[in-house]
Amino acid sequence: MIALKRKFLKVINTIAFYICCLLVLLYFGTPHLWLIISALSPESKPYIHLVRPTFANFVSIFKEHNFVHYAINTAIISVLGTLITVFLSVIGGYALHELEIPDIAILFLWITTFVPLLAYIIPYYIYLSALGLVNTYIGAAIVLSVQNLPYYMWLMKNFLATFPKEIKEAAMIDGCGRIRVLFSIIIPLSLPPIGLITAMAFNSAWGDFLAPLVLLSDRRVMPLSVGMFTETVRPWAVYEPWQYNLLAAFAVLYIIPPALLFTYTHKYLRGLAMLGAGIRG
């Protein structure tokens, strides 16, 4: 009897497991699936039209909607921002480690990283326009790189705390200066955290919407996140201003770099989450 009950429970368990999986799959998968379907469907047809997929949307965004221009802008901004972030966080983390500054001393910096860009974008806009940084690549790169800088510095410092002292000391006995130690020993040996910082900084810069929306309103410097909407949304079409198929084509291509990045860095994601990343939702 007990054995029967146990078997019954096991079957119930298995069914519950697969039902849960199915629900999760539906919840997480449907929007992505819908995105791909929309990107492949012609505008004139109703949406569910998988019989004859078309690549006309992709051709159209390349030919008529300047996809390449926006993609280049996005790449410039995010690469520039990432470079600044990585450089500053590496030297900052190294200095924090070398001077043995306790966490409590930089607590104020730490806490202010939790203030999102959104909370101070209005005075920031006035401030940056006074400095002449509105509608420039470098201005956007600064905005994107400064946001989480203390956090990345702290990440780097934490990694360096686990670094074997002997390697550094051996180099210094051989006559290396501290700067030389940083560039020829510390950096080559701390590629995992640097890679992690690069990935996080690049991903957040690539996907950022608010900073370009406010600071890069000129089409010459506008990146994809804003550009894909200004190119395809027709505000005068009252009933449905969105051209879903074109936007979907934009979105599919826009997603590719973060997805590629993820495939190479997902190993580190676990540690990253543990350290309290993902603050921006």
Residues 66-125 that bind another protein (CB under 8 A): 88-89, 91-92, 94-96, 98-99, 101, 107, 109-116, 118-124
Instruction: Provide the mask over 149-168, with x wherever binding to another protein is found by CB under 8 A and - wherever it is not.
Output: xx--x---------------
Distance CA 128, CA 134 (A): 6
User: Among residues 64, 71, 38, which one has the least CA distance to residue 225?
Assistant: 71
Q: Tell me which residues in 2-21 interact with another protein (CB under 8 A).
A: 6, 9, 12-13, 16-17, 20-21
CA distances from 216 to 41, 42, 201 (A): 31, 31, 19
Q: Is the dihedral of CA 120, 121, 122, 125 positive or negative?
A: positive
**b/e code 185-194 from CB counts within 10 Å (16+ = b):** bbeeebeebb
User: Are the C-beta atoms of 202 and 261 separated by less than 8 Å?
Assistant: yes
Cα 207 from Cα 199, distance rounded (Å): 12
Binding piece for another protein, criterion CB under 8 A, among 52-60, 65-73, 186-194, 223-231:
223-231
Least separation in angstroms between residue 183's CB and another protein is 12
Counting contacts by CB under 8 A, is residue 193 touching another protein? no
CB of residue 152 to another protein, shortest distance in Å: 9
Q: How many residues does the chain have?
A: 281
**Under 8 Å CB-to-CB from 167, ≥6 apart: which residues?**
185, 189
Q: Does 255 bind another protein (CB under 8 A)?
A: yes
- Of the listed pieces 58-66, 163-171, 186-194, 200-208, which binds another protein according to CB under 8 A? 200-208
24-43: contacts with another protein (CB under 8 A): 24-25, 27-32, 34-35, 38
Binding mask 168-187 for another protein (x = CB under 8 A): ---------xxx--------
Say whether residue 132 binds another protein (CB under 8 A): no
Q: Does 209 bind another protein (CB under 8 A)?
A: yes
Identify the residue among 60, 75, 158, 207 touching another protein (CB under 8 A): 207
- Helix and strand numbers (H, E) in the chain are 14, 0
